[in-house]
């Protein structure tokens, strides 16, 4: 998916275009991205006004009048695309799943090729309860090196698995886990509780750096990701290890390796990221 930086970029983009819009129609074209029957979903939206757009973990939250939240999880290929008027011809998204029509004549389309994404209309309370399950936001002011040090010390999971677990830390996915671990010099298979406190503190810094830099670059486009203006992110060319197996490491020249575990590819530099230390 879109990970934290991509969801943040989309939320920021939407904030400038859809806040203030009043929803006059909601059409579900692919009901499997909902978690409830579409007959119940659509009526909940009509007549509501968009009051804000936020991000939590990898979710884009569209705040609605009447204390409702349209919670969008983008899955692997989800996009949120606003248009001033209904798109025609070439500009029409290829896999529209939900289409909101605004009083202004504009539309917001949730498009999702693989349909791993979800769209839910919840009360603010329902969302808040859901959000309790997420770990801390890595870019939050209150997130300190010590929080990561202590979190890692309590787990025997491989560090990459730890970082991908949304209950432990929110918003980190496979790309940024790989990049942060590279920059901190930690092998993705290293047990979390074997990461030394000073390494964990370094990882806290590299995580925040890489996530922040990626937001400033507008996210990473591997293939499908687009921001709310339909544009690609610029961070892909700054990746050190993700998707670069076989390439020489930018630091030491060793060939980047790919290794599969927990069902996903892990990318790392065998020279810079020792399995133990």
Q: Could you give the CA distance from residue 167 to residue 176 in angstroms, rounded to a whole number?
A: 17
Catalytic annotation, pick one of 55, 56, 58, 79: 58
Catalytic status, residue 3: yes
Catalytic status, residue 264: yes
Report the side by side order of strands in the sheet with 59-64.
Answer: 50-56, 59-64, 68-73, 118-123
Minimum CB separation from DNA for residue 40, in Å? 20
Find how far residue 180's CA is from the centre of its chain. 15
Three-state secondary structure of 5-60 = HHHHHHHHHHHHHHCCCEEEEEEECCHHHCCCCHHHHHHHHCCCEEEEEEEECCEE
- Residues of this chain that interact with DNA (CB under 7 A) are 1-3, 6, 32, 57-58, 73, 75-77, 94-95, 113-116, 154-158, 161, 164, 166, 173-175, 192, 219-225, 233, 260-265
Q: Could you give the CA distance from residue 192 to residue 132 in angstroms, rounded to a whole number?
A: 23
Q: Could you give the CA distance from residue 79 to residue 221 in angstroms, rounded to a whole number?
A: 12
Nearer to DNA, 21 or 224 (CB): 224
Catalytic annotation, pick one of 3, 6, 21, 199: 3
- Report the candidate in 87, 107, 109 with the shortest Cα–Cα distance to residue 21: 107
Nearer to DNA, 3 or 21 (CB): 3
Nearer to DNA, 39 or 260 (CB): 260
Minimum CB separation from DNA for residue 93, in Å? 11
Nearer to DNA, 164 or 249 (CB): 164
Minimum CB separation from DNA for residue 131, in Å? 12
Catalytic annotation, pick one of 2, 82, 158, 188: 2
Nearer to DNA, 49 or 265 (CB): 265
Catalytic annotation, pick one of 12, 15, 38, 264: 264
Minimum CB separation from DNA for residue 85, in Å? 25
Residue with tokens 């008027």: 85
Cβ count near 172 (within 10 Å): 25
Minimum CB separation from DNA for residue 35, in Å? 10
Which CA distances in Å does 95 have to 1, 12, 26, 129, 270? 16, 23, 16, 31, 40
Catalytic status, residue 92: no
Catalytic status, residue 6: no
Residues labelled catalytic: 2-3, 58, 264
């Amino acid at each position: 998916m879109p990970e934290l930086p991509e969801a943040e970029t989309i939320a920021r983009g939407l904030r400038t275009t859809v806040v203030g819009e009043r929803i006059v129609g909601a059409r579900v074209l692919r009901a499997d991205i909902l978690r409830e029957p579409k007959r119940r979903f659509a009526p909940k939206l009509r007549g509501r006004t968009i009051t804000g757009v936020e991000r939590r973990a990898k979710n884009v939250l569209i705040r609605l009048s009447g204390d409702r939240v349209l919670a969008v999880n983008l899955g692997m290929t989800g996009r949120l695309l606003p248009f001033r008027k209904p798109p025609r011809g070439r500009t029409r998204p290829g896999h529209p799943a939900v289409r909101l029509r605004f009083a202004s004549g504009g539309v917001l389309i949730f498009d999702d090729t693989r349909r791993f994404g979800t769209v839910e209309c919840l009360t603010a309370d329902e969302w808040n309860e859901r959000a309790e399950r997420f770990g801390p936001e890595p870019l939050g002011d209150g997130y300190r090196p010590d929080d990561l040090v202590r979190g890692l010390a309590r787990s025997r999971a491989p560090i990459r698995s730890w970082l991908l677990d949304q209950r432990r830390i929110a918003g980190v996915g496979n790309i940024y886990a790989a990049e942060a671990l590279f920059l901190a010099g930690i092998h993705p298979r290293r047990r979390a509780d074997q990461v030394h406190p000073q390494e964990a503190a370094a990882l806290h810094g590299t995580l925040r750096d890489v996530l922040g830099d990626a937001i400033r670059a507008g996210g990473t486009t591997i293939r499908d990701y687009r921001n709310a203006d339909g544009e690609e992110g610029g961070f892909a060319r700054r990746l050190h290890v993700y998707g670069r197996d076989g390439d020489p490491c930018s630091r030491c020249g060793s060939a980047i390796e790919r290794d599969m575990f927990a069902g996903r590819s892990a990318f790392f530099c065998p020279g810079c990221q020792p399995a133990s230390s």
